[in-house]
């Protein structure tokens, strides 16, 4: 499966640093999986397993404004996918586990244990197909923050 060097969102964030990547339960973005299904790169069962799960991590290094579409490109570097997906209820935007949802904390810690154990596959840079020059992006700087999770926007 390919990796995206940018996550496109309607919102900006000052967050920079390592974050876990979470797949929403929503099927709103089902078309993003269609190419992978058509080329046999992923099975429907794997898509089901990804939903409501932490699937990997990346380093958020920048926010890039795209004037034409009025969206923010969250630049993700060094993406990796875990050897196994970690079921976890999500939230919107960048988030840390909620105190009233202990299953989030358990999943969060399991993900960091998997990182420390090198239980993941790093992305092949050749598979990152979107380039900065395609969008004419403008850098926005910010300081590093604590580690968090990201879910797709609604």
- The answer to whether position 117 is within a domain reads yes
Average pLDDT over residues 90-103: 87
Domain carrying residue 55: 6-150
Average pLDDT over residues 28-32: 64
Q: Which pLDDT score, from 0 to 100, does residue 93 have?
A: 83
- The answer to whether position 101 is within a domain reads yes
pTM as predicted: 0.76
- The answer to whether position 102 is within a domain reads yes
- The answer to whether position 1 is within a domain reads no
Q: How many domains does the chain have?
A: 1
The 3 state secondary structure assigned to the chain is CCCCCEEEECCCCCCCEEEEEEECCCCCCCHHHHHHHHCCCCCHHHHHHHCCEEEEEEEEEEEEEECCCCEEEEEEEEEEEEEEEEECCCCCCEECCCCCCHHHHHHHHHHHHHHHCCCEEECCHHHCCCCHHHHCCEEECCCCCCCEEECCCC
- The answer to whether position 115 is within a domain reads yes
- Ranges 3-7, 36-40, 49-53, 106-110, most confident: 106-110
- The answer to whether position 68 is within a domain reads yes
Q: Exposed e or buried b for every residue in 21-50, given b needs 16+ CB within 10 A?
A: bbbbeeeeeeeebeeeeeeeebeeeebeeb
Cβ-based burial of 132 (10 A; exposed 0-12, middle 13-18, buried ≥19) = middle
Which one has a higher pLDDT value, 25 or 12? Answer: 12
The whole-chain average pLDDT of the chain stands at 78
């Amino acid at each position: 499966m390919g990796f995206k060097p940018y996550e496109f969102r309607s919102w900006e964030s000052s967050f920079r640093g390592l974050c876990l990547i979470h797949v929403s339960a929503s099927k709103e973005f089902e078309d993003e999986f269609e190419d992978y299904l058509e080329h046999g790169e992923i099975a429907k069962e794997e898509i089901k397993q990804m939903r409501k799960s932490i699937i990997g991590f990346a380093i958020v290094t920048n926010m890039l404004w795209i004037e034409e579409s009025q969206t923010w490109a969250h630049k993700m570097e060094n993406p990796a996918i875990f050897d196994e997906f970690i079921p976890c209820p999500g939230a919107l935007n960048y988030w840390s586990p909620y105190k009233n949802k202990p299953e989030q904390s358990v999943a969060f810690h399991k993900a960091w244990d998997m990182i420390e154990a090198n239980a993941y596959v790093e992305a092949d840079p050749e598979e990152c197909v979107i380039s900065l020059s395609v969008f004419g992006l403008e850098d926005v700087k910010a300081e590093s923050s604590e580690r968090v999770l990201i879910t797709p926007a609604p």
